[in-house]
Amino acid sequence: MTIDLDRAEEVFAASQNGTVGLEEEFALLDSASLDMVPRFEQLRDAAAQSDPVLSAAVAGELISSEIEIVSGRGEDADDAIRRQQDVRRRLFDLAADRDTALSATGTHPWADYREQPNIDTEHYRRVVEGLQYVARRNNTFSMHVHVGVRDLDRAVRVCDRLRPILPQLLAVSANSPFLDGIDSGLHSARSQAFTKSFPRCGIPDAYGSWAAYRDYLELLIGTNSIVEYTQVWWSVRPHFSFGTVEVRICDAQSTAAEGDALARLISGCVLQAVADEDAGVAAPELPRRLIEENFWRAIRFGMDARFVDFAARREIDARAAIEQLVAWSAPARAAGGIADPALAERNGAQRQRDAIAAGATMQEVFAAAVAETRESYVKGALVS
């Protein structure tokens, strides 16, 4: 992850349009209490001893009470999903054998971040030493989608084009109403805890070209602001190791079907942005201050939000905004052979809020989400 900007250009020059990689983060839980438990190293080592496929797909994150699985490079979204479905089942089987449950909500409802040990790697030691409370406070779980885009200059402009739709993608994925033992009143408390706290995070500026983005990075490097390019945590960014556009705005998803639908929608959006860029379609020119208005609405209200249609200077329901995304990205999905995204009628945050409104306790709501995750991720291939 060291910063070699010339090498980044080479990686993107060799990239293949439309390849897809998925990353999913899970909290590790005691099966009985559903408290978070630091078992990453135990599961990692067990996978290394018994399951080479899973071992290659497991990655550590900031805390030992978290585990990430990655699909590796799929030739398209559906190939990446098939790969991820296999890895999910392997992970859940391994965890169950060790009395460990997994949750896939954006936050754990009641875990105390002060009690979560950080994993011992050079990268995460650097993150914690550099960010202090901001890093330690970040016990959150998300889903990232990588889509291959050839040519780094083109990839930067594709990221620019995706900026205005980040709030809508957050809204449809919102899945974290609880934090610190309370109902936060938000639909994505993860976004408030992580995206609004980390530096160089959230909605990026539009750069217009690789030359401008490179100049920005060189400023950060030259002023000792960053020593790894992944310290630029924008919610959409070119990823220099993989030659991809990485969309990292989404909460973790409680069901496999929702994760798979998001992967298809996001892949289609990235590829449609590529097609629009290649066709010379005028890009929306929205300053970050305006996109932030919709970003806040997504954090606060998720799919119950009313977004601002800036061109029409009026509000639009979140569902209608998502339908616009689905329609806009349909040509690229068709061209790439990507199945239509089967989005849930009500997303994770809405389902949790429905249960809260019906009188369920925080513990009951979370237990139901954990059970939903276990059932759907083990049998995800049957419902996607």
Domain that holds residue 218: 5-383
Relative to beta strand 201-202, strand 233-234 is parallel
Specify the number of domains making up the chain: 1
Residue 382 pLDDT > 80: no
Residue 276 confidence (pLDDT) = 98
Residue 99 pLDDT > 70: yes
> What are 244-262's pLDDT values in tens digits?
999 999 999 999 999 999 9
**220 band by pLDDT with thresholds 50, 70 and 90:** very high
Query: 219-247 in b/e burial notation, b at 16+ Cβ within 10 A?
Result: ebeeeeebeebebbbbbbbbbbebbbbbb
For residue 371, what is the domain's CATH number?
A: 3.30.590.20
**284 band by pLDDT with thresholds 50, 70 and 90:** confident
* Mean pLDDT, rounded, for 326-343: 96
Residue 149 CA to residue 155 CA, distance in Å, equals 6
* Mean pLDDT, rounded, for 83-102: 97
Mean pLDDT across the chain: 96
Relative to beta strand 244-251, strand 142-148 is antiparallel
Which position has the token pair 């983060």? 25
Residue 380 confidence (pLDDT) = 57
Residue 168 confidence (pLDDT) = 98
> What are 352-374's pLDDT values in tens digits?
999 999 999 999 999 999 999 99
Residue 122 confidence (pLDDT) = 86
Residue 384 pLDDT > 50: no
* Mean pLDDT, rounded, for 163-187: 97
Residue 1 confidence (pLDDT) = 53
Residue 316 pLDDT > 80: yes
* Mean pLDDT, rounded, for 1-9: 86
**120 band by pLDDT with thresholds 50, 70 and 90:** confident
* pTM of the predicted protein model: 0.96
